[in-house]
Amino acid sequence: MPGLSRKCHVGSEAVCEWMSRCRFQRWIEGLLWEGPDSDDHLRSEILRMKGLVAVADDQRRHVLQAVGQTYDIMPGLPWPVGADRTTRIVVIGSDLRPDLLNSGLTSCCG
């Protein structure tokens, strides 16, 4: 596809059943505003994020949309009865570190 860097990656993860909304928001803000690898001084760049988030103490699915440094997390419809209430996020960017993304997302559990 013309114009796409070979360093462009798409990743998705499924982790714990419930997220702390406050910890999750701090993590997203750190990724978008400081960079996913700010502690390691690496050059990752997140272009887009999207996903469904299972927030603790809320029966609704929360929808994450992020472009550049702008993001929103909006409550949506309730999870269907018997649905797998697992947070799933897709991250599109360059030079991403899946290990750091996974550990950061896991730190929001609970």
92-110 confidence digits (pLDDT tens): 888 788 888 888 888 888 7
The reported pLDDT for the residue numbered 1 is 46
At residue 41 the predicted structure's pLDDT band, cuts being 50, 70 and 90, is very low
**Domain CATH number, residue 29:** 3.30.1220.10
Domain membership flag for residue 1: no
For the cut 80, the answer to whether the pLDDT of residue 49 exceeds it is yes
SS3 74: strand
The domain in which residue 49 lies consists of 8-106
Domain membership flag for residue 17: yes
Domain membership flag for residue 26: yes
Domain membership flag for residue 33: yes
Strand intervals (E) in the chain: 8-14, 45-54, 60-67, 70-78, 88-94
- Is the pTM value of this prediction over 0.85? no
pLDDT in tens, 66-87: 998 999 999 999 999 988 888 8
As a whole-number percent, the residues of the chain with pLDDT over 90 amount to 34
